[in-house]
Chains A and B, each alone.
Chain A
């Protein structure tokens, strides 16, 4: 079964750090672009970051640039999001998502999503 499972969320104080993980299974993780998307409580979806298969292309939303770092370990089939200098407004469910399989292309829709992990930034 194709699956993404996030972990690492929790309660952190403003200015603190967290590292989220997304474990992939059921597909060849190393060949897929991957994304992080977040959703604040009761709000809509906001794209956070993307990474290509070999980490040579990485993009961030302006709201997290310089504070968050996306990475992956293809040997462990795992995607990461290192979040530093966390702010109250970073409070959200964080989803990892797989870009649809398409050879030789960058942009496409997200066909597989994890269940999400909650990050709460509060003092």
Chain B
């Protein structure tokens, strides 16, 4: 199985400041034939299901604010939030869909400082 490890486990950021969450896979999730990284980011607010933010490591889902961005390739990935808003308080998960079992990171809890 491909293990996904996020860092940090929790993060407190002031409103308007930037936030960065890292995700590392235990093996490359870059598919060479199409040069795509099989990595997604989800946001989960309390009592709600996860919401897709980013897929193919860097493509923003429709309707997701452009303050969210994804980067990275191979085994190392980053979710960045450029200017934290109150509504961004949530747990963020990375997921690899390169191979089954699809695996998620343990989650990063983002709070307001």
Sort chain A's interface into a size bin. 20 to 34
Chain B residues within an 8 Å CB radius of A116 = 49
Chain A residues within an 8 Å CB radius of B101 = 47, 59, 61-62
Cα(A35)–Cα(B50), bound, Å: 13
A67 to chain B, nearest CB (A): 15
Cα(A109)–Cα(B48), bound, Å: 18
With A44-B107, A45-B50, A45-B95 already in contact, the answer to whether A59 and B40 are too (CB < 8 A) is no
- Tell which of B48, B55, B102 touches A47, judged by Cβ atoms closer than 8 Å: B102
- Check if A46 sits within 8 Å of B104, measured CB to CB: yes
- Check if A100 sits within 8 Å of B38, measured CB to CB: no
- Check if A44 sits within 8 Å of B104, measured CB to CB: yes
B interface, by DSSP: helix, strand, loop or mixed? Answer: loop
- Check if B61 sits within 8 Å of A111, measured CB to CB: yes
* 0/1 interface trace, chain A 26-40, chain B, CB 8 Å (1 if under): 000000000101000
Cα(A61)–Cα(B99), bound, Å: 12
- Check if B104 sits within 8 Å of A114, measured CB to CB: no
> Using a CB–CB distance below 8 Å, which chain B residues touch chain A?
38, 40, 42, 44, 48-52, 55-56, 61, 93, 95, 97-107
New A-B contacts (18) at CB < 8 Å, excluding given A47-B102, A50-B100, A109-B40: A44-B93, A44-B104, A44-B105, A45-B50, A45-B95, A47-B100, A59-B100, A95-B49, A95-B50, A107-B97, A107-B98, A108-B55, A109-B52, A110-B40, A110-B52, A111-B61, A113-B49, A113-B50
> Using a CB–CB distance below 8 Å, which chain A residues touch chain B?
35, 37, 44-47, 50, 59, 61-62, 95, 100, 107-111, 113-116
